[in-house]
Structure 1
């Protein structure tokens, strides 16, 4: 059955209608289960540890997420609720902003909003990036707000007005989003390209207020600019070199395949046709669809080019999907397609919630992947480490990778737990080796093969103390080993 702009959801039919309602309820329930499960992915704990060392910025990413987590820790204490309160609040804000955008781009805003909300809840990229206490949940909210401001500005401008406050607000929001993640700047770049390409919009470039708006953006991102100037562009170096060991010069077709596959998998195959219709130049005239297209292509083509030289993570092109999301509801033409999309979203949500909240799925077939395994057993591990610490009285506690050190520090409620692994991380900015010469350390690792020659060489002596096994539902999830390392040398 066709579902178009002139029909509302009542016309879908009772079976499909109740199926959609059931799907939405399941998506909300799975999201709630994940938030309340008590488990966290390692990167969430990593950003929490950032928040306990307030700074103008950080090595891996800009500072906004850490600042928000610091505030949450002061208001709600050191617990999973404080960790997750940010994503909960931004999720609610996302819903309100989508409603406000629907009123700007549709003559039937209630129907449009319902469809857009279903897409938002069921699309895997939004599902994953708005559930976790990662920088992405802030970026999604702030970029949706920036998009709303841009739409309001350009809508009013087409009617002959010059509502500069909306442009100022849009640039401030893009700046704040960039303080969450660097790729947020691409929404601003897409809006600029739209102003260049659109004859009506181009006139704003003749007004000083446009440059004042850009100055506001630069002012907001000032902390990040200052950080990179004073740390020899450490964040830029991380992105271009440390994360992928540099950009290879040879063709990287596996990167291209992974990028396109990630786009299909995390948008869902059932959105490809509506997306193609939305991007098609001769498709229906929707207010500010041209703006969304410019943002989509600015981000998508950049990462498409980069995928030929390096591996692109599935969520890096999130800016493109944020920009196009509110417009997709105009192009969902078949009820069965909407149903298939929400069923796909429920399946992915169930897998994610179970994998990180109950048991890593790969455990049924072999050993759990390390990223999933690091979500389990940290309360037990913390009790185990505390007992060993009372017995051996180490001068400091460390892990051998940030995915161990951060969850351990969170579980111990100890901001001084550090990371002595070979991989560069933010922990190196907090740990001064010269201040710990001769110290003894209790080191936790997941590997049963010792600490490795490089780390062992930094101590006079290393001794395996104990091993803890993490089980869930009778399955071994991970083994963690504790070493006493004496006489720190460097």
Structure 2
């Protein structure tokens, strides 16, 4: 009894503290681009969408209808489901392994980083994980006794899962395999009540099937064909390293042990243990194998979570056999892992901390800059003529601005990102995909970081063909320009003439993150298609510190940027002697201010520089 009470108190304390922290973070964290698009889908109510079934969008709509246009309101339904998840696991584990194991299983769900951070973002993984737990609970109960209540719970779980994500098909398949491998499971699969539940679950896929039939299987092709190379990739081995880190190493090893033990047939092994182990282990193994052939460009580390949840149910029973020191280390590592993940979200939600990631490969661009962009757009809209429309160059900016401005009808240009993320068909259905033509003035918002730098000049040329010559832009640099937006005030009619594009630049020396003395040379190149540049200033922490000699020979620049139309090639190099004797030692940010011959002034992205004592 003391053991049960201690486990219960631990669970209640962990659940309360972690839930409170998640609420605080969710209220501060900028909207992730996928969340913004799900909000936009929710504002165009439908049974299914190009990228997902309908439930995620419906939940965002429910949150904002009740709580208003705020990130916490949008995320509230997801936070609620995620908060219920540990309680469900506790209930299931208590039934089969005792109350103490149940409370500890719930605590592990709270502490495991992948599960403990669930709900902070409004993503389909939340209802899908909830549906998975309902199905595994129903399956375990059916193994003991087939009754109408368990069959109804199975039908509910299958329905929620079908409305959550295409990936839930894998959960269904693994569940059928797990039942088929058990004698009791084969008995379950022969019962008509179970097949009625399966039929109801299958019926829940009808909206998604109908959408695909009406739209040439666009959603299905994106999820199963377009986004995956379906060719062997040796990087699949990283799955083990990444998952061990996200689950925490000792807990990951415990999950593997639960799976291995599920193959035992003797030693009084409960059928439920074998069921949970097979359900979770086969799913996790499947994702491991899939990683050698599937999409590795987009985030996929969260995919195995539905497989971990069944395994977690039996982990506390397994840990009883481990030495005390190892048990303590497992709990401590799990807690430390969760703190790291929540800390990362906290950093992302604090602009002053987030900018420290600028110039790093893992800079969180999809969370950054939306408030600054919205403020700049509002200022430009107030300055421009009444009736000026808003036009975004891709779905990210369109959805994020849509949420911030409470406008789900912002038109979007055709963009590689729309295709890459499966959003182009949906934008066309909403009649929000623009070809650039217009009959009113427009404010065009361009995310310059949404195209690889080597392809950016070609993209700008294509943009110019769509909307006409680009006027001098207002540049919105966030986090030293590592999130960068350009705002163009376009006339009512598409004008003709040569393309004038935003400026391009590069600092050859010093290199990014270089350590220098107080006096050093800055050299590089810069050009501006259509009109050229008349000067370059060197900036330190946003303030001019030197005027560069511009117009130096730089033949390699024109050779690389073959389609450039700057009339001053190859004389587009610059050099400057910088004296920072009065500057404080330590980290500074080196930048450029580019003066165009058309009167434009553009601040280029900054790079870190370390000044010696």
Q: Give the 3 Å change call, closer, same or farther, for CA 293–22 of structure 1 in structure 2.
A: closer
| 1:420-467 C-alpha deviation (Å, 9 max, x unpaired) | 223222333323558974344322123186762223221233223312
Instruction: For 1:164 and 1:191, locate their aligned partners in 2 and report how far apart those are by CA, in whole Å.
Output: 19
Structure 2 counterpart of 1:384, from 376, 379, 382:
376
Aligned alpha-carbon RMSD (Å): 3.1
| 1:307-342 C-alpha deviation (Å, 9 max, x unpaired) | 222335111222211222222222223223212221
Match of 1:153 in 2: 142
Asked if residue 409 in structure 1 is aligned to residue 402 in structure 2, the reply is yes
Q: Which runs of 5+ in 2 are unaligned?
A: 450-455, 496-613
Aligned positions of 1:319-468 closer than 5 A: 319-332=306-319, 333=322, 334-359=327-352, 361=354, 363-364=355-356, 366-367=358-359, 372-390=364-382, 391-393=384-386, 396-420=389-413, 421-423=415-417, 424=419, 425=423, 426-432=426-432, 437-439=437-439, 440-447=441-448, 452-468=460-476
Number of residue equivalences: 465
**Superposition TM-score, scaled by structure 1 size:** 0.85
Instruction: For 1:394 and 1:243, locate their aligned partners in 2 and report how far apart those are by CA, in whole Å.
Output: 39
Match of 2:596 in 1: none
Q: Which runs of 5+ in 1 are unaligned?
A: 12-16
Asked if residue 316 in structure 1 is aligned to residue 303 in structure 2, the reply is yes
Structure 2 counterpart of 1:87, from 78, 85, 100:
78
Match of 1:242 in 2: 226
Match of 2:519 in 1: none
Match of 2:537 in 1: none
Match of 1:119 in 2: 108
| 1:137-163 C-alpha deviation (Å, 9 max, x unpaired) | 1112222122222222222x2xxxx30
SS in 2 for 1:45: helix
| 1:388-419 C-alpha deviation (Å, 9 max, x unpaired) | 22414565323333332221111111111233
Instruction: For 2:484 and 2:136, locate their aligned partners in 1 and report how far apart those are by CA, in whole Å.
Output: 46
Contact 1:27–1:349 under 8 Å retained in 2: no
Match of 1:131 in 2: 120
Match of 1:268 in 2: 248
Instruction: For 1:181 and 1:122, locate their aligned partners in 2 and report how far apart those are by CA, in whole Å.
Output: 25
Match of 1:45 in 2: 36
Q: Give the 3 Å change call, closer, same or farther, for CA 274–100 of structure 1 in structure 2.
A: same
Contact 1:296–1:320 under 8 Å retained in 2: yes
Instruction: For 1:352 and 1:419, locate their aligned partners in 2 and report how far apart those are by CA, in whole Å.
Output: 29
Q: Give the 3 Å change call, closer, same or farther, for CA 82–213 of structure 1 in structure 2.
A: same
How far apart are 1:39 and its partner, in Å? Answer: 2.0
Q: Which has the larger radius of gyration?
A: 2
Match of 1:183 in 2: 167
SS in 2 for 1:467: strand
More helix by share: 1
Instruction: For 1:354 and 1:71, locate their aligned partners in 2 and report how far apart those are by CA, in whole Å.
Output: 28
More strand by share: 2
| 1:169-203 C-alpha deviation (Å, 9 max, x unpaired) | 21331231121112223332222223322122212
